[in-house]
Amino acid sequence: MQQSILGKITELQENHAVEIVVVFLFLTIAMIPGMGRVDTIVALENMMPASSTPVEGFNNLRAEGLGRDSIAIKVSAGTTEEGVQDITSNQSKNYISFLSSEVEDIYGVTKVYSPVNREGLTDRSKQTSVITAYTYSGDSGAEMQRIFNEIREKSDYNRPKGIETRISGVPAVQQRLSEMVQRDKNVTTAISLLLVFIITLGLFQGSISSAVMPLIVVGLSVIWLYGSMGYLGIPLSTLAGSVAALVIGIGIDYSVHILNTYRLNRRDSSIEEALSEAVEETGTAIIATSITTISAFMAFLFGKMPEMHRFGLIMSMGIGYALLFSFFVLPSIFVLEEKAAKKIHKSLDWRHEF
Which percentage of the chain shows pLDDT scores above 90?
A: 11
pLDDT in tens, 124-162: 888 888 888 887 655 556 677 788 888 888 888 888 888
User: Is 60 exceeded by the pLDDT of residue 94?
Assistant: yes
Q: What is the pLDDT at residue 29?
A: 93
d(CA 308, CA 319): 17
pLDDT in tens, 324-343: 998 888 888 888 887 777 77
Q: When comparing pLDDT for 292 and 264, which is higher?
A: 292
Length of the chain, in residues: 354
* b (16+ CB within 10 A) / e for 50-62: eeeeebeebeeeb
**Mean pLDDT, rounded, for 16-21:** 84
User: Is 90 exceeded by the pLDDT of residue 320?
Assistant: yes
User: Is 50 exceeded by the pLDDT of residue 289?
Assistant: yes
Q: What is the pLDDT at residue 170?
A: 66
**Mean pLDDT, rounded, for 23-29:** 92
Q: What is the pLDDT at residue 335?
A: 82
Which percentage of the chain shows pLDDT scores above 70?
A: 84
When mean pLDDT is compared across 57-61, 222-226, 261-265, 311-315, the lowest value belongs to: 57-61
The CATH number that domain 2-47+178-342 falls under is 1.20.1640.10
Q: What is the residue extent of each domain of the chain?
A: 2-47+178-342, 68-135+137-168
Burial class (CB in 10 A: 0-12, 13-18, 19+), 78: middle
Q: What is the pLDDT at residue 354?
A: 47
**Residue 302 gets which letter from DSSP?**
G
Q: When comparing pLDDT for 346 and 330, which is higher?
A: 330
User: Is 70 exceeded by the pLDDT of residue 85?
Assistant: yes
Q: What is the pLDDT at residue 329?
A: 87
Residue 82 phi, psi (nearest 5): -105, 160
pLDDT in tens, 291-314: 999 999 989 888 777 778 888 899
Q: What is the pLDDT at residue 45?
A: 55
Per-residue pLDDT band at 42 (split at 50, 70, 90): low
d(CA 73, CA 115): 11
pTM above 0.85, yes or no: no
d(CA 347, CA 351): 6
pLDDT in tens, 219-260: 999 999 999 999 998 888 777 777 888 899 888 888 888 888
Q: What is the pLDDT at residue 294?
A: 92
User: Is 60 exceeded by the pLDDT of residue 78?
Assistant: yes
Residue 236, C-beta contacts closer than 8 angstroms, at least 6 positions apart: 38, 39, 40, 41, 181, 182, 185, 229
Q: What is the pLDDT at residue 237?
A: 77
Decide: helix, strand or coil at residue 132: strand
**Mean pLDDT, rounded, for 38-63:** 59
Q: When comparing pLDDT for 310 and 3, which is higher?
A: 310
Per-residue pLDDT band at 349 (split at 50, 70, 90): low
d(CA 114, CA 117): 6
d(CA 221, CA 212): 14
Class for domain 68-135+137-168, per CATH?
alpha beta
Q: What is the pLDDT at residue 345?
A: 59
Whether 74 and 130 have beta carbons less than 8 Å apart is answered as yes
Whether 169 and 75 have beta carbons less than 8 Å apart is answered as no
Are 2-47+178-342 and 68-135+137-168 the same fold in CATH? Answer: no
d(CA 245, CA 189): 5
